[in-house]
């Protein structure tokens, strides 16, 4: 489940000294009847993980779990991208998609790799202004435009991606 990936990633950041909190899951676009009979609208969560680095920099990560080797963007992903772009526009904030790819390969068994797609970081960011609904992000795209998060026993190692806590 995606929640396992979120927990593993949050634990990896905590071991590097980051403060991490997770937005609680709630059904998207759910109408709620309150005690007075009025209908209330529960807003969709903007991203999965809220972070603060040891040096005090804010971060936001949206986690995605893929069961295939490609990711086709939909309207929800584009809304989340807009939110992450807003956060990335206030440097030195970290805004990223964390993509975990878990699928059964033809030769090696289960493929379990994770990538961090930073939004708005100069020199390492993909050209997100060209992203659109139905864009397909595959393994070759991820290898070119993102950073692979190394796998360790029981989780992921983000220490190499953020030397010095940033």
> pLDDT tens digits, residue range 58-78?
999 999 988 887 888 888 888
Distance CA(141)–CA(156), nearest Å, equals: 21
Provide the pLDDT for residue 24: 73
The region that residue 123 occupies, defined by phi over 0 for left and psi between -120 and 50 for alpha, beta otherwise, is left
Provide the pLDDT for residue 122: 57
Provide the pLDDT for residue 62: 92
Provide the pLDDT for residue 138: 84
Peptide bond into 35 cis (omega under 30): no
Provide the pLDDT for residue 36: 61
* Beta-carbon contacts of residue 130 (< 8 Å; ≥ 6 apart): none
CB 103 within 8 A of CB 111: yes
Name the stretches of the chain with pLDDT < 50: 28
Provide the pLDDT for residue 9: 92
Provide the pLDDT for residue 124: 56
């Amino acid at each position: 489940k995606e929640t396992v990936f979120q927990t593993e990633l949050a634990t990896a950041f905590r071991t590097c000294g980051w403060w991490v909190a997770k937005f609680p899951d709630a059904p998207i676009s759910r109408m709620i009847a309150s005690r007075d009979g009025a209908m209330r609208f529960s807003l969709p969560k903007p991203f999965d993980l809220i972070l603060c680095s040891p040096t005090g920099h804010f971060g936001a990560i949206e986690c995605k779990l893929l069961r295939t080797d490609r990711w086709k963007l939909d309207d929800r992903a584009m809304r989340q991208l807009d939110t992450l772009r807003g956060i990335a526009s206030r440097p030195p904030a970290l805004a990223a998609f964390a993509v975990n790819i878990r699928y059964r390969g033809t030769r090696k068994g289960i493929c379990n790799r994770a990538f961090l797609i930073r939004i708005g970081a100069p020199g390492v960011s993909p050209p997100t202004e060209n992203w659109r609904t139905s864009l397909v992000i595959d393994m070759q795209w991820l290898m070119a435009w993102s950073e692979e998060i190394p796998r360790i026993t029981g989780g992921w190692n983000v220490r190499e991606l953020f030397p010095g806590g940033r």
